[in-house]
Amino acid sequence: MTTFTTDDYYYACFWRDGFDGFVRRNVDHYLTRNGRVLVHLIAQTLLAGGMIPFAIFNTLSLIAIFLCFMAFQSMPGKKTHGGGLLSAFLFSIMLLGLNYNVLKHSILCVSDACNYIFPQLLLALSCMLLEKCRTSPGIPLCFFTALGCFLSGATTEQGGIMTLTILFVSILSELIVQKRVGVFRVFLLLCSAAGYLTIFLSPATRARAASELSIPGIQNGLRQFACNFASPGRSLFVMILFCLVIGTLSLLNRKLPRVLLLGLPVSATLSIGYFSAQSVALNVILFLLFCGFMLTAAVIFIFKTPYQKSGSLLLAGLASAGMMIFTVSSSVRATVPLLICLMVCGAFFAGECYEILGIRFAGKKFFHRATAILSVCAFFCCLNQAMPVFRGVRNNYRILQQNELAAQTARQEEVFRYRDYLPPYYLADLFTSSVFDRLFLHYYRIDDVPVEYNYRVMEFEKTGETTLLKDGKRYHPLSKLVKKHGGKLFWASNEYLSITLKRREFIYNAPCLYWTDQGTRHRVNVVQDIINYENSLFVSEDFAKILLG
């Protein structure tokens, strides 16, 4: 069970005044915030029911995403030898192995899950319906396929571009193989484009897109995406597994182009990220290397192998990444669509490897038993690694319940006393943003009740500096501290920062700070030494001493 955070309190109030209030708030949101109407409708409805409906919906969504994408990629009539079971194990292993910084911006956050997991569910369902429609067409099935494509296009900027990419590739593949273009597939493409258009008809979406499109913005978006996706502690291990599986499949299947064997050296090169000193430049290099190989694999799968649908899915994942690189607001959650594509395709190709080996080792029980034992061991190893996350989330859910009880008694006590969530397994700090403070208090209907804050804000007139005092520790604004000493600060997300100071690069990759001094690498857990207050980062004096040497 997870906790509410930031935007969750905003969306949870949409149903509060009945259907009329729900419609009024959504119209205002569409005109002033963004055009993601469909995903926000889902978020608002789930949040109105609390955490239990979300927990059920989210779990079923992940299962459905895996099953539908596997059905989309599978070849009709092909006999299997247990490859599907191995794919399920590998998908589960990758899911459990995800770093908490990825989990808290995808699976564990209601708003983020609706914005980045739910579009993948609609896309997966649309892909499965598209395949079913090809093999057994019928008017009801065609109708639901068209509806699915429209809705999938209308989810988010990333979800829409992924749907358009898959449909475009299916039309192109049909043109190359059958020398014709099916009218129905073109119609589906138009349905998806119409859905996608609903997002950009929002004045807020158009204004944001126009303000973000620039060369410096694209360069910054690339660096942000690379740090949030390809750095250790993010999705680097999924990238390595994907390349390793593709290279192994090419090694086992002689019919595949030999260029796919590059997956093996590429996976080895990506592993450098775990052994080298962390840096933004290294993240960008590894990310571009991976994208080059992934694009090559996608094109080869589409045009030269029986894996056209897998290739279209990989190309769609790259398109989702490209969409976010063109913005200046990239974050960890923006990497989720690409991550899911890699996970389902990697799991599918691992199953294909197992099928080939199953034929070669037919009748030899040791192979199947050894694979089963290794898969189960890997699963429980990842489960054991995930247990601290589960325990941390559970403990913070208990704090949420205590805060709910405090909110219920706040009006009688004439003050609201809250408990902070426990790091590192929390979604966001409480009462560190005036915007989210108001959302929290409005959700519990205690807008006019004073809050007993856990820290004091101090303003210094001479320097114009704002500092925080919490639990006896003083926190200073990081940007001013770095600028004062002639350094540079690069912000990829609240969980990933690069600080260049005195010819040294410090990397904050939550929860630790990394740096190299005179050839010696250092790592210090500083999760309690950094606070995001009013969209500015504040660091403790201990943190500042490390930076200043």
- Every domain of the chain and the residues it spans: 7-389, 391-452, 456-548
**What's the rounded Cα separation, in Å, for the pair 374 and 90?**
11
**What's the rounded Cα separation, in Å, for the pair 384 and 378?**
10
Residue recorded with tokens 């010696």: 520
Task: Answer whether 287's CB lies under 8 Å from 516's CB.
Answer: no
Is the pLDDT assigned to residue 462 strictly greater than 60?
A: no
Is the pLDDT assigned to residue 328 strictly greater than 80?
A: no
The length of the chain is: 549
Give the per-residue pLDDT at 488.
93
Name the residue with higher pLDDT: 318 or 502: 318
Give the per-residue pLDDT at 152.
95
Give the per-residue pLDDT at 549.
77
Give the per-residue pLDDT at 218.
83
pLDDT band at 329 (very low <50, low <70, confident <90, very high): low
Is the pLDDT assigned to residue 163 strictly greater than 90?
A: yes
**What's the rounded Cα separation, in Å, for the pair 81 and 303?**
27
User: How many helices and strands, by DSSP H and E, does the chain display?
Assistant: 23, 12
Per-residue pLDDT, averaged over 55-72, amounts to 93
pLDDT band at 463 (very low <50, low <70, confident <90, very high): low
**What's the rounded Cα separation, in Å, for the pair 300 and 256?**
9
Largest Cα separation within the chain, whole Å, is: 82
Residue 368: Cβ within 10 Å count: 17
Which DSSP letter does residue 430 get? S
User: What are the tens digits of pLDDT across the range 365-411?
Assistant: 777 788 888 888 888 888 888 888 889 988 988 998 999 999 999 99
- Least-confidence region, from 100-104, 209-213, 471-475, 499-503: 209-213
Helices (H), 365-521: 365-413, 434-443, 478-484
Q: Report the Cα 464 to chain-centroid distance in Å.
A: 37
Is the pLDDT assigned to residue 431 strictly greater than 60?
A: yes
CA dihedral 362, 364, 366, 369 (to 10 degrees): 40
User: Residue type for 289, please?
Assistant: L
Which CATH number applies to 456-548?
Answer: 3.30.457.10
Give the per-residue pLDDT at 520.
86
pLDDT band at 1 (very low <50, low <70, confident <90, very high): low
Q: What percent of the chain has pLDDT over 70?
A: 95
User: What are the tens digits of pLDDT across the range 109-153?
Assistant: 899 999 999 999 999 999 999 888 877 778 889 999 999 999 999
